[in-house]
Amino acid sequence: MKSLNRFAWIVLINIFLVIVAGSVVRMTGSGMGCPDWPKCFGYLIPPTDVEQLQWQKGKEFVKGQMIIHEEALWKSNSKFTATESYNPQNWIKYTKHDYAIFNVFHTWTEYINRLFGALLGLFALITMVLAARKWRVNKWFLGLTVFQLFLVLFQAWLGKLTVDTNLNPYMITYHMIGVVVMIAVQLLLLRLIKREEKEISFPAFSFLIKGVAFASTFVMLFQIVLGTQVRQQTDTLFKSGVPRELIADNFDNMFIIHRTFSYSVIASLVFLFANLRKNPRFKKPLSYLFVFTFLEIIAGITMYYFEMQAFAQPIHLLFSLLMFAFFIEIFYRLIPRLSFKK
C-alpha cells in the first residue's frame, strides 16, 4: 500500500508541475514553439538553431523532418540527402496550420512542457500497475488509476488538437477542464488509500455542510472555465493593439460574472470555516484554503489594477486549481463511508 500511496502522490504533484509548465508556456507565448505533435519540427529532440530548419546542400533528412521554406512549413516525404538545388518533390507542405516561425526559447519551453506530460503518463501507468496488485483490497484503486491514465492520454490528444488548431481557445478551455477532473480523481484515489490504511471514524455532518462543500467545487470549476475565457479576451485585446493599461477597461460581462462569483467562493469558505474549524480533520485543509484564497485575490488585484497580466495570470490559475483541490478534499473528508469496496 505504501508504494501505491507514494506514486499516487507523485502523480498528483506531477499534475501540478504540468499546470505550472503549461502556464509558463502560455505566459511566454510559447504554445506554438513546436508546431507539430508529438514530435517537434519532426524531431524527437527539437532543434537549437534555425539553420537546422533550413534546406542545406548535403544535409541528410529522414521522413517527417521539417524545414521552413518560403515562410511555410514543409515535411520530408522520405529519407534523402539534399542535392545542390531544392527539390520540391521531396517535400509535402504542412497544412494543419500556417504558423512557420522558429524561436529557440519558445520551442524548448514547449518541449519541456511536453516532457512533464510524458513523465505524468509514465507515473500514471506505474500507479495503475501497483493498483492492479491491490485488486482484492479495493477494486476502486484499479478503476480510478485506469481512468486517470485514460485522462492523461486524452489530455495528450487535446494537446495535439490545440497545436493543430493553432491554439484554438475552446481547446485550451477543454484542456483546463480535463486538468480539474484529473485533480479530483487523484485526490479521490488518495482518500480511498488513506481509508484502507487506517479506518477513520468521525461524527456525521449535516446535509447543508456537505452540500456547500460539494457546490463549492463546481463554483470553482465554473470560475476556472470563466478565467480561461477572460484570459483569451486579454490575449485578443493585446494582439489587437489595446495597451495593457487599458485592457481591463475593455472586458465584457464575462469578467463581471467571473468577479461576482468570486464572492460566492469566499462566502462558501467562511461558512465551512465557521462549521468545521473545531474539527482537527479540517484544520489543515481550511488553513491552506484560506492562504490560497488570499493569494488568489492578490493575484487578481495585481492583474486588474497593476497591468501585470503576463506575470500574475499563471499564478492566478495555479492558486485557483489549488483552491479547487482543497475544496474537493474537504468534501471527500465529509463523507464517512467513502470506501466503495464492493
Cα 212 → chain centroid? 26
Summarised one tens digit per residue, pLDDT across range 301-323 is: 887 777 666 667 788 888 999 99
Per-residue confidence (pLDDT) for residue 122, from 0 to 100: 96
Summarised one tens digit per residue, pLDDT across range 72-127 is: 999 999 988 888 788 888 899 998 888 889 999 999 999 999 999 999 999 999 99
Per-residue confidence (pLDDT) for residue 342, from 0 to 100: 45
What residue ranges of the chain are covered by domains with CATH 2.10.10? Answer: 34-102
| pLDDT greater at residue 55 or residue 190 | 190
Q: Is the pLDDT of residue 56 over 80?
A: yes
Q: Which grid coordinates belong to 93?
A: 507542405
User: Spelled out in words, what is the top-level CATH class assigned to the domain 34-102?
Assistant: mainly beta
Q: Please answer whether residues 141 and 180 qualify as being in contact, where contact means their C-beta atoms are separated by less than 8 angstroms.
A: no
What is the reported pTM? 0.84
The residue among 61, 104, 105, 55 whose CA lies nearest residue 80 is: 61
Per-residue confidence (pLDDT) for residue 290, from 0 to 100: 92
